[in-house]
Amino acid sequence: MLRPRIIPCLLVKDGTLLKTVEFGPGKYLGDPLNAARIFNEKAVDELVVFDIGATTDQREPNYPLIEELATECRMPLCYGGGVKAAEQVEKIVGLGVEKVAISSGVVDCPGLIKDASRRVGAQSVVTVMDVRRTSEADGEVFSHNGTRSTGLSPTEFASLAEEQGAGEIVVNSISRDGCMCGYDIELVRKVREATSLPITALGGAGSLQHIEDLIKALGIIGAAAGSLFVFKGPYRAVLLNYPSETEKDKLLSRARTQIQNSSDRPSV
Amino acid sequence: MIGIVNYGLGNVSAFARIFHRLNVPFCLAGTRRELETADKIILPGVGAFDWAVEKLHDAGLAEPLRDLVLGERRPFLGVCIGMQLMAERSDEGERPGLGWIQGEVERLNGGPTTMLPHMGWNDVLVRFEDPLFEGLHEAPRFYFLHSFHVSPLREQDILATADYEETFVCSVRVGNMYGVQFHPEKSHESGVRLLRNFAQL
């Protein structure tokens, strides 16, 4: 039976690992390659690496770093940051990356998703929506590291991404970024109802219980987290961590039991 | 020596790294000559069917592969699109496949709410004992990332299945030729063990 995915998400800027809160200035954490090695040893389901400086600094993706990360990982790797052209997607996949994430490019570069999907297959093209809760009922999708509003609601963005031929959507809550207070499950649910693409939630996870809650609510989903897997304790000491196989089995089994027991279970 | 077909698709370096760690000699084979030095061949691949067929023909590797795998019966492992290429044709594209296995590639079925692609770790149900899956758990988990799958015409070609809304074939064996729909190069220890088994055939 297909399992929900539990995914560490690493943020990189200028080749360095960092962590943000509400997309604010980052706290330095160390070497991304070392982090990839550690998560590799912990046999994580997938790894996501976002270069948050690439688009705003208008740089090309950091290909040497991407290649090093790709050869290190014995699990699927998703890279995002500064991807504006289908050739870049093809190049990154050629370096050994399973999936390429596009955020600002979805709105700024019409035809990008379609062209990229044609070349590398839809399964390798991920769209990321950074959502800020605003006066709009469902929130608004922002780009460029949360600095520019796209004018689209999350469901509008999801439909657009699906139309363009993406293979997955990451729903990233800016408001919950770094808060460790739980996923914005209602936001993710709205997107789930608007598309049949696989979805990964990001932003807000502070404990394995939050991941369990997400899976109970939404069934098959990707549960991505930054702070949860890089910090430990109330003082946020840097300690890369991930549930063991046993902890994961228990979490998934509890979540599934809840889904089976509830009368209006979501489609899985 | 394992020859990893280098035609511009698939995570060639992931395979290379695993064989390097296992101390298994390997080469990246982008020409007939390089392929001929390999006593076993792996055809990786991700992406769309037609794109893969074109890349393989553009690289001039379809004929050498036919000679070595069908003709000389060198052990072969097709991974993901590499497995789908073994079929006669695909619903995903217009170009013919290699036709090494009787059957076609079809889209995964499911209801209107089925999420595609099939993405994540799933259990592989192996039908009978085979050296490729030796030493693994009864239902080992591997990473899947695909929307299409091979439907072999002959029951005896089916080596393993998986469940995603429906039961579908995720591994085939026809004599010296194996295919796996999942990604052993990205499936941690299960994948490493499977690749080691292939190398030791």
Q: What's the ipTM?
A: 0.91
Tell me if B187 and A4 make a contact (CB, 8 A cut-off). no
Tell me if A74 and B164 make a contact (CB, 8 A cut-off). no
pTM of the model: 0.93
Tell me if B112 and A196 make a contact (CB, 8 A cut-off). yes
The per-residue DSSP string of A215-228 comes to HHHHSS-EEEESHH
Q: Which is nearest to A208 in space by CA: A187, A180, A171, A185?
A: A180
Q: Determine the Cα–Cα distance for residues A51 and A38; give it in Å rounded to an integer.
A: 19
A57 is a catalytic site residue: no
In the numeric block, which tokens belong to residue A61? Answer: 């993706």
- Is residue A22 pLDDT above 80, yes or no? no
B120 vs A: CB within 8 A: yes
Angle value at C-alpha A80, between B28 and A30, nearest 5 degrees? 90
Q: Which of A45, A118, A197 sits opposite B121 (nearest CB)?
A: A45
Q: Determine the Cα–Cα distance for residues A123 and A125; give it in Å rounded to an integer.
A: 6
Q: Which is nearest to A75 in space by CA: A39, A35, A32, A46?
A: A46
Q: Which of B14, B81, B114 sits opposite A196 (nearest CB)?
A: B114
Contact B30, B6 (CB under 8 A): yes
Q: Which of residues 115-154 of A touch B (CB under 8 A)?
A: 117-124
- Is residue A75 pLDDT above 80, yes or no? yes
Count of Cβ atoms closer than 10 Å to residue B96 Cβ: 12
- Is residue A174 pLDDT above 50, yes or no? yes
Contact B65, B5 (CB under 8 A): yes
- Is residue A37 pLDDT above 70, yes or no? yes
Is B6 strand, coil or helix? coil
Q: How far is CA B13 from CA A227, B46, B55, B179, in A?
A: 30, 13, 18, 19
In the numeric block, which tokens belong to residue B92? Answer: 């995903």
Per-residue pLDDT 10s for chain B (201 aa) are 999 999 988 888 889 999 999 999 999 999 999 999 999 999 998 888 998 999 999 999 999 999 999 999 999 999 999 999 999 999 999 999 999 999 999 999 877 778 999 999 999 999 999 999 999 988 999 999 999 999 999 999 999 999 998 999 999 999 999 999 999 999 999 999 999 999 999
